[in-house]
A and B are shown apart, each in its own frame.
Chain A
């Protein structure tokens, strides 16, 4: 195994272990020995994150592993992002972010386990996620999505008596003339594909893995539409 491969293997392991103390250090070491930032991202961090996603899906891993990996990834990206930008500037390659997602559990609802899982998986898949937390007023969600120039708004509600606020968010986007600007994905225990279509949202997913696939599809759609 070459030094580069060995270094990438260490990065993968640190991400799989969800070690946010070590992850920026091993990325820094890899940069210092001359490994390209894009290689570190694609063949180190993302490979580790994919592995965690698969272990979660198979039932071997649980929520803590997913959240710790998300955190380790965030810490690693703090070191890697400046290097990536320099590298892309030097090579004249265009930076194409995976996408920006604003996530929130809507006002009056405080349930966040599902939303947190989706946030972690999206982060692990390279999305920039701005997670606003729980019980977030719909006006705040829209304002933050505009401020961060988000591609996607992700809304969650577990309670059937909070779900109407997701519909309100879509209505508000409509009357503000901003509906076309964002893709809106929705989730929660009682959210069904039928209800999603009925309120005019762009999609829902039954689990975090599918949510990532949906987010990728929505980004592609958005870029095609543009």
Chain B
């Protein structure tokens, strides 16, 4: 494996290209050509696919895209090129297991297979969601305390001591450290101090990331995000995050948020771009694991048909061709105290579990509002466990997801979305338990899910 200096050198000295030309002549045109050449198509009625040939074709097209165009440094406007064989060698070296956290609370992630009998790990939280300081500790505690949860994550602080948090401002350092102080406090409170975290979510710039690299904040057994930018781009800020972890040892989550309907076009092209992003991010982000989070161009959520399909096919493509650890986000349109949030969460958890991923979420209300609670994270985990417990097949999973889509898809036509209620309206702030209406909705939907076919829930 080459040194990280090689990536930085190539970002400085690769061929020059304007960003507009990168987007249009490299990403758009090459992806379109590959989609046409391989006749890649999707069926909105088949969200969980049972088509190994299609998964393989998506993988091959993604590999060809990565090999053909490489990655792009937005900072230097240079192409980061790779020699033949380097990307494939990188794929062979992807971790198959990864321990996160420490002591009795540590958990080991593993490369899941399609219809794997082993339950997915449950990584609870709302990465990226803006959270007011007064709600931060109670909300993260609400999912930390759930027995089914294996690992935790969180949103970003919007304020510190009543002051607005700004990116790349000194207050970002305070926000990142404060966030991690709350995370440790929450873990202690629930008696799971060694639980692994994906955190430093308030670190939008390298300032916060650097400030978190200390055992009192983000421990070497925890993870931080290394995002690949849309599409197939990096910048020096993200390279700095990687370098920050090289000696200290934080785990690198290579986050890919392909815009479905964006430069890749419709779902198949977006899946191809996603595969290429994982392959390139594996090296540019020095990935310990892959974090899958397609974003729908209009609806944002991961619970649209197209985004669910992309999650499904990308996971299957890697499970069959280059097994690795994929953790996949659940970001529904709806927020707390709505029935639809529970349907969306269940559908998304079924897709991820059946097609080979671990579960992360729930980023309720598009991950845009503090309208998220531990209850939907519990349901996400319970559904994932039930899918494996009853050995659900791909066709059966698809049928169930279609039934659930029929129950919640109307939320995408709601002009203001379906944001639901804030955490402090959905949970009792003293006992940190769901308010009776939220508990009743959860019980109702769980019963409904059992009747629909998730019998072991």
Contacts and interface: CB of A to CB of B under 8 A. Distances in A.
A, B assembled together: yes
Given A110-B229, A161-B158, A67 B28 contact: yes
B32 interface: yes
A164 interface: yes
A133 B19 contact: yes
A162 B28 CA distance: 28
B167 A159 contact: yes
Interface in A145-169: 159-162, 164-165
A125 B263 CA distance: 21
B368 A190 contact: yes
Interface of B: 19-20, 23-24, 28, 32, 74, 130, 156, 158, 164-168, 172, 202, 204-205, 229-230, 235, 237, 259, 261-263, 265-266, 297-298, 300, 366, 368
A60 B79 CA distance: 32
B297 A64 contact: no
A161 B166 contact: yes
Contacts of A161: 156, 158, 165-167, 172, 202, 204
A136 B259 CA distance: 22
A71 interface: yes
B205 A108 contact: yes
Contact of B297 (A110, A113, A133, A164): A113
A111 B229 CA distance: 8
Contacts of A162: 166-167, 204
A207 B261 CA distance: 14
B166 A110 contact: no
Nearest to A63: B262
B130 A62 contact: no
A189 interface: yes
B19 A62 contact: no
The majority secondary structure among interface residues of chain B is loop
A160 B166 CA distance: 8
Contacts of A67: 23-24, 28, 263
Contact of B130 (A63, A110, A160): A160
A63 to B, nearest CB: 5
A63 B261 contact: yes
B390 to A, nearest CB: 36
B167 A189 contact: no
Interface string A50-87: 00000000010011100110010000000000000000
B168 A160 contact: no
Nearest to B231: A113
Given A108-B166, A160-B130, A161-B158, A71 B24 contact: yes
A165 B261 CA distance: 29
B368 A189 contact: yes
Contact of B261 (A62, A68, A133): A62
B266 A62 contact: yes
B166 A63 contact: no
A64 B166 contact: no
B274 to A, nearest CB: 15
Contacts of A159: 167, 204
A108 B297 CA distance: 22
A53 to B, nearest CB: 15
Nearest to B129: A160
B293 to A, nearest CB: 14
A161 B130 CA distance: 9
Instruction: Give the most central of A62, A111, A113, A162: most B CB within 10 Å.
Output: A62
Given A68-B24, A110-B235, A160-B130, A62 B167 contact: no
Among A64, A68, A107, A113, find the residue whose CB has the most chain B CB atoms closer than 10 A: A64
A159 B130 CA distance: 9
A62 B265 contact: yes
14 contacts: A62-B262, A63-B262, A64-B263, A71-B20, A108-B166, A108-B167, A109-B167, A110-B235, A113-B262, A159-B167, A160-B158, A161-B172, A164-B164, A165-B166
A93 B164 CA distance: 52
Nearest to A161: B167
Contacts of A133: 19
Contacts of A189: 300, 366, 368
Contact of A68 (B28, B74, B266, B366): B28
Contacts of B167: 108-109, 159, 161-162
A62 B230 CA distance: 15
Contact of A64 (B205, B230, B265): B265
The winner among B167, B172, B202, B298 for most chain A CB atoms within 10 A is B167
A33 B74 CA distance: 44
A134 B235 CA distance: 12
Given A160-B158, A190-B130, A64 B165 contact: no
Contacts of A160: 130, 156, 158
A112 B265 CA distance: 16
Contacts of A113: 230, 259, 262, 297
Contacts of B204: 108, 159, 161-162
Most buried by B among A63, A107, A162, A164: A63
A111 B165 CA distance: 18
